[in-house]
Amino acid sequence: MISAALAWTFERTGVDKIWEALFARHIPEAKGPVAWLYALGSATLFVFTVQAVTGTLLAMNYVPSPDHAYDSVRFIGSEVYFGRFIRGLHHWGASFMVVLVALHMMRVYFMASYKYPREATWLAGVGLFLLVIGFSFTGYLLPWDQKAYWATMVGANIAGQTPFVGSYVSKILIGGAEMGAATLSRFYALHVLVLPALTGGALVLHLFLVVWHGISEPPKRVEKGS
Amino acid sequence: MSDWHASYRERYKKLKEAGKPFFPHTVFKDALVAALLLAVLSWLAWHHGAALEDLADPTDTTYNPRPEWYFLFLFQALKFFPGHLEAVAAILLPGLGMGFLALLPFFDRGPERHPFDRPWLTLTGIGALAGFAGLTWAGYNSPLTNPIVEKDPVALEGQRIYRDLNCSYCHVLGGRGGKVGPNLDLALGTRDELWLTKHFRDPQSVTPGSTMPKLNLLDDEIHSLVAYLATLGGGPFTSEAPKLFAENCASCHMVKGKGGDMGPDLSLIGSAREKSFLRLYVSDPSKINPSSSMPGFAGQLTDAQIEDLSRYLASLR
Query: Domain with A200 in it: what CATH number?
Result: 1.20.810.10
Domain span holding position A174? 34-213
Q: B33: which chain A residues are within 8 Å (Cβ-Cβ)?
A: 36, 39, 42-43, 46
Task: Say yes or no: B165 and B221 in one domain.
Answer: yes
Sequence-ordered alpha helix ranges (H) in chain B: 4-18, 27-47, 72-78, 86-87, 93-107, 119-141, 153-164, 184-187, 193-201, 203-206, 219-230, 240-248, 269-272, 275-283, 303-314
- State whether A26 and B17 contact (CB < 8 Å): yes
Q: Is residue B2 part of a domain?
A: no
ipTM over 0.90: yes
Q: Is residue A137 part of a domain?
A: yes
Query: Domain with B295 in it: what CATH number?
Result: 1.10.760.10
**Mutant choice from A20, A101, A121, A153 vs B, greatest count of B C-beta within 10 A:** A153
Residue A96: name the closest of A45, A134, A59, A144 by CA. A45
B164's torsion region: left (phi>0), alpha (psi -120 to 50) or beta?
A: alpha
Q: How far is B310 from chain A (nearest CA, A)?
A: 30
Contact between residue A202 and residue A124 where contact means Cβ atoms under 8 Å apart: yes
Total domains in the fold of chain A: 1
Distance (Å, whole) CA B262 – CA B252? 5
Q: Is residue B123 part of a domain?
A: yes
Q: How far is A15 from chain B (nearest CA, A)?
A: 15
Q: Is the pTM of this model over 0.95?
A: no
Chain B from 113 to 142: CB within 8 A of any A CB = 113-118, 121-122, 125, 129
Residue B278: name the closest of B243, B251, B253, B247 by CA. B253
Mind listing the pLDDT tens digit of every residue in chain B (317 residues)? 568 999 999 999 999 999 999 999 899 999 999 999 999 999 999 999 898 888 887 766 667 777 788 888 887 887 777 666 776 677 888 899 999 999 999 999 999 999 999 999 999 999 999 999 999 988 887 755 544 344 466 777 787 788 788 887 888 776 667 778 887 766 766 677 788 888 888 888 888 888 888 888 888 888 888 877 776 655 567 777 888 888 888 888 988 888 888 888 888 787 667 676 788 888 888 877 888 888 888 888 888 888 888 878 877 76
Q: How far is B230 from chain A (nearest CA, A)?
A: 23
Task: Say yes or no: B188 and B129 in one domain.
Answer: no
Contact between residue A75 and residue A61 where contact means Cβ atoms under 8 Å apart: yes
- State whether A153 and B34 contact (CB < 8 Å): no
Contact between residue A135 and residue A97 where contact means Cβ atoms under 8 Å apart: yes
Q: Is residue A120 part of a domain?
A: yes
Q: Is residue B10 part of a domain?
A: no
Buried b (16+ CB within 10 A) or exposed e, A36-65: ebbbbbbbbbbbbebbeebbebbeeebbbe
DSSP B65: P
Task: Say yes or no: B213 and B167 in one domain.
Answer: yes
Total domains in the fold of chain B: 3
Domain span holding position B205? 153-230
Contacts of A106 (CB under 8 A, 6+ apart): B125, B129
Task: Say yes or no: B277 and B206 in one domain.
Answer: no
- Segments in chain A below pLDDT 50: 226
| Chain A to chain B Cβ contacts (< 8 Å) | 232
Name the residue facing B63 among A119, A150, A161 (closest C-beta): A150
Q: Is residue A41 part of a domain?
A: yes
Contact between residue A185 and residue A62 where contact means Cβ atoms under 8 Å apart: no
Distance (Å, whole) CA B195 – CA B236? 9
Contact between residue B70 and residue A135 where contact means Cβ atoms under 8 Å apart: no
Q: How far is B12 from chain A (nearest CA, A)?
A: 8
